[in-house]
A and B are shown apart, each in its own frame.
Chain A
Amino acid sequence: MDRPTGDTDEVRELLTQFRRWLDDPESSPGIVRELVALDRDRLAAFVRLHSTDERLFAIAMLIRRAHDALSSAPRDAVTMSRFGTLLCSGDLPGKLQHEIALEGDAWKEHAAALLSAGDYSEADRACIQAASFYGVVAAEERFYERTHLTLIQAQVAHFLGDSERGLQLADRAGATLARFFPTKKRDHLRARTIYATILVASQRYDEGLRALEECAEVARRENDTETLASLVNNIGYVYMQLGNLKAARECLSMALQGFTSLGFKSELPRVHGGLARILTQEGRYNDAVSEHYKARAAYLELNMPVVAGEVTLRIIEALFAAGRLNDIPSLCAEAVETFTRAHLPREAAKALSYINVSARQRTLTADEVQDAREFFQRLQADPDEQFDSMKEEGGD
């Protein structure tokens, strides 16, 4: 039997791994990244191996997992949602309404992921794609999702410098949610918060601050702890930027309490990280180390070893600042052991081993740790980043 071009054993093997990933994302963690990198022929062959139902199920799963990863791992969300859009291949005329709507959903999620990751131009393009697919389906179809798309567009417009359009879109989305989705109060609050934020960021302080107060008041009345915890968390970061560390600590501690009581594990490490940064700025290095450890444990629990590895390097930096140089080698050795168990990607493990060897030989410098930490940050953005190049350029 003749096989179509590209329909090779390799593609079949990828499908097996992808099916495993759909059942359990831990089983084949890198498979979606591999699939996104497929060339056109092999991707087409991969799509052909699916029945329509299986393909639609896979797209829905990719959208859901991308959505879950939005705040904790935006780059993963970008990869997953991107692959979702790639699986939606085929000509529109042959597609059913719900397939087209799903394609709109995939692009909307991709836009949200790109917004989270800070790729605003790409996010704008993804919004246009999503809107065009939603535009093909019946007017009442995906009305709620379209309103969310409007909110994403509002934020993207603001970041691309068109705050006036951002305000109009956020206002419109808020009004739509209030009128047509009265039970979705949290969504309405989110829209109003975005509106208020853009106002403040556009120097319209009076209106913006009043809108923000109204949001907090409505959230308090509605017992919406999630919105309030998010608000105080964000305000904590603003205070931090202003150098008001006391107020920042108060807000972040409050956010931590709120998120903990809600069981929002994905929000916790960032708050711990923020508190650690405040403590570091206050010169309370030992307390900062404790907070970093909590953040590291939380990231490990969320199965985010690369970010946890970056936090480990922040701990080493704090130990340098605290003058606790004797504690560094044992921490490095422990980190290598911990992250080996946590399946840290190869390049990241290499970087950590390098730091460990330097620490054991007592030649480790704060600069090297900072470089390694920056490498970990780049690795989160680009999983293909190589540690060797850093060593060559950095000189060891």
Chain B
Amino acid sequence: MHMENTFGMQLKARRELLGLSVKKLSKFSGVSRRWIVCAEESRNISIEILKKLMQAMQMTGVVIAPGMTVGASPTAPDTASLAAAVEDIGRSAAFAKQAADRIRTFTLGVGKSVPKHTPVDEGFNERAARLVTHFTEHVRSLSDPEKLQRVEKAVSSFLRPEEDAPRTAKAHPRRRRSSA
């Protein structure tokens, strides 16, 4: 399906009217940001993607060619989307607080140059160390021998820099498959 028209402009105008970023629309619609950009450039996208975007933005119809309209029944935002929105608001507030704290630190003159290996997020090391502790506590709480066996096996990945790398060059036995 090739759509040489302005449906992308309609989608973009609607998104901007709703004050949604591409990222947020992606979250609400389940369509990747890449496909949203394609859609807004009126590039070749599937009807399914178009409908998802329309539903997420509560649009009832988009003209894709003269005399041809794609309709989508608007759906009420689901609980997952609402939860995601609330989570976004919460995160934004947290970021704002973090930014304010940093500005305060800086204006009080306690700021210093950041060493090369210090991440932007200064709480990273604390949180990462806490995750390690959570993990050790989790393993200690395990009593199922099967699960413990899986831990023993999986933990060896600590010793392997490239877990995904194929282990041997031997050819695998192949299956026959039926054509579609």
A interface residues with partner B (beta carbon < 8 Å): 70-72, 74-75, 115-119, 155, 158-159, 193-194, 197-198, 200-203, 205, 209-210, 212-213, 215-217, 219-220, 223-226, 228-229, 231-232, 234-235, 237-242, 244, 247, 250-251, 254, 257-258, 261-262, 270, 273, 286-287, 289-290, 293, 324, 326-327, 330, 362-365, 367-368, 371, 374, 377-378, 380-382, 385, 390, 393-396
Given A219-B125, A365-B177, A367-B175, the answer on whether A247 and B159 have CB atoms closer than 8 Å is: no
| Chain B residues within 8 Å of A380, by CB | 165-166
Instruction: Decide if A194 touches B159 in the complex (CB within 8 Å).
Output: yes
Report the minimum CB–CB distance from B4 to chain A (whole Å): 16
Report the minimum CB–CB distance from B163 to chain A (whole Å): 6
Report the minimum CB–CB distance from B102 to chain A (whole Å): 15
10 extra interchain contacts, Cβ-Cβ under 8 A, other than A197-B155, A220-B125, A270-B164?
Answer: A117-B165, A197-B158, A205-B140, A225-B124, A228-B128, A232-B131, A244-B138, A261-B118, A290-B32, A385-B171
Tally chain B residues at the interface, Cβ within 8 Å: 64
| Chain A residues within 8 Å of B147, by CB | 242
Main secondary structure of the interface of A (DSSP, over half): helix
Find B46's partner among A232, A327, A368, A382 (CB 8 Å cutoff): A327
7 A-B Cβ contacts within 8 A?
Answer: A209-B139, A212-B132, A213-B133, A231-B132, A234-B158, A235-B131, A235-B132
Given A258-B128, A363-B179, the answer on whether A324 and B48 have CB atoms closer than 8 Å is: yes
Instruction: Decide if B132 touches A228 in the complex (CB within 8 Å).
Output: yes
Report the minimum CB–CB distance from A285 to chain B (whole Å): 9
| Chain A residues within 8 Å of B165, by CB | 74-75, 116-118, 380-381
**Cα distance A118–B170 when bound, in Å?**
13
Instruction: Decide if A393 touches B174 in the complex (CB within 8 Å).
Output: yes
Instruction: Decide if B155 touches A118 in the complex (CB within 8 Å).
Output: no
**Cα distance A159–B131 when bound, in Å?**
27
Instruction: Decide if A258 touches B124 in the complex (CB within 8 Å).
Output: yes
Instruction: Decide if A159 touches B44 in the complex (CB within 8 Å).
Output: no
User: How many contacting A-B pairs (Cβ < 8 A)?
Assistant: 210
| Chain A residues within 8 Å of B67, by CB | none
B112 at the binding interface (Cβ < 8 Å): no
Given A197-B159, A324-B46, the answer on whether A247 and B166 have CB atoms closer than 8 Å is: no
Instruction: Decide if A242 touches B154 in the complex (CB within 8 Å).
Output: yes
Find A381's partner among B148, B169, B177 (CB 8 Å cutoff): B169
Residue in B closest to A291 when the chains form the complex, CB atoms = B32
Instruction: Decide if A228 touches B129 in the complex (CB within 8 Å).
Output: yes
| Chain B residues within 8 Å of A72, by CB | 162
Residue in B closest to A238 when the chains form the complex, CB atoms = B154
B33 at the binding interface (Cβ < 8 Å): yes
Find B120's partner among A212, A261, A324 (CB 8 Å cutoff): A261
